[in-house]
Amino acid sequence: MKYIWFTLVFLTVFAFLLGYLKLLSQTLFALLLVTTFIKGQLIIDYFMGLKDVALSYRLIPTIWLFLILSLTAIAYYF
Amino acid sequence: MSSKIKPKALYPPGDFGIWLIVYMELITFGLLFIGYVFSRRAEVELFNSSQLLLDQKLGFINTLLLLTSSYFIVKALKAIELIDREKAIRLASRSIEIAMMLGSLFILIKIVEFSDKYAQGISLSTNTFFMFYLLLTAFHFLHVLLGLVILFNIRKNIKASKYTKENHQGMLSGGVYWHLVDLLWIVLFPLIYIMR
């Protein structure tokens, strides 16, 4: 679980640096969306404990996360 | 070989009620997030210039605080399953106390941030960006406050030996709620503070 926490912290530092150093090109923006999805999925799987639960329960927050981030990409770039 | 495959549990951890709350919160915040990103399309310059008035460092620190508090909730849930009850109670309550302390720091930083914005004369009616910023962060702030009340009760129950290795459903439900608050912030932080 320590590794999960460390990954979440690392990805948060990455997101902060992108914004703080104003490095948000289109590619890095896409990468930010992907890393946000990974962070959310880690919380869903390991913190909320849905990794070893029937897929239907795990899919609900995963689909929510995917939908929000996809719509964000559409709203910002299309 | 087959002994390595762990069977999937039929139901998620915690009570059925807490998952109903989780889904309702996901829908509510989801609609607000979608409202934010599509409203931005009409006023990109205004959103970008208003966003510069936010303190990204405070948003970053708050993200770390919530992630770390969630980690301690997981530790508390692991500790309560220890066979040595005295050790289980001691470790679980200590982890919950750390999580509460981190959650309280989050609240404190948010109060500093809100006070700063209030001093600058920023309110819900300043512009569309700040309407969404205040609505989303204040709504989330209330969820953290409720989460702290839940954690306080969990700690009280741990101390009163109300949770056992076999039955700590209330603790699991409280943990799920706290992780939900964390998950919502994980989306809120890049959306409001970083993406432009």
> Using H for helix, E for strand and C for coil, what is the string for B85-137?
HHHHHHHHHHHHHHHHHHHHHHHHHHHHHHHHHHHCCCCCCCCHHHHHHHHHH
Question: Do A6 and A37 form a contact (C-beta atoms < 8 A)?
Answer: no
Is B14's pLDDT higher than 90? no
Our CA angle for B74, A50, A60, nearest 5°, is: 130
- Using one digit for the tens of pLDDT, what is the confidence trace for A36-52? 999 999 999 999 999 98
The tokens for B171 are: 């603790």
Measure B148 CA to nearest chain A CA, in Å: 17
CA distances from A17 to A12, B53, B56, B67, B80 (A): 9, 17, 10, 17, 37
Mutant choice from A7, A72, A74 vs B, greatest count of B C-beta within 10 A: A72
Q: In this predicted complex, what is the ipTM?
A: 0.95
- Using one digit for the tens of pLDDT, what is the confidence trace for B102-146? 999 999 999 999 999 999 999 999 999 999 999 999 999 999 999
Question: Which residue, B193, B153, B145, B151, is CA-closest to B36?
Answer: B193
Measure B38 CA to nearest chain A CA, in Å: 6
Chain A partners within 8 Å of B189 (Cβ): 12, 15
- pLDDT tier for residue B4 given thresholds of 50, 70 and 90: low
Chain A partners within 8 Å of B179 (Cβ): 43, 47-48
Contact A24 B195 (CB under 8 A): yes
Question: What is the pTM for the complete model shown?
Answer: 0.94
| CATH for the stretch B14-26+47-194 | 1.20.120.80
Place of tokens 């809120």: B188
Contact B179 A29 (CB under 8 A): no
First-to-last alpha carbon distance for chain B, in angstroms, is 49
Contact B194 A43 (CB under 8 A): no
The tokens for B173 are: 């439900």
Determine phi and psi for B8, rounding to 5 degrees. -75, 140
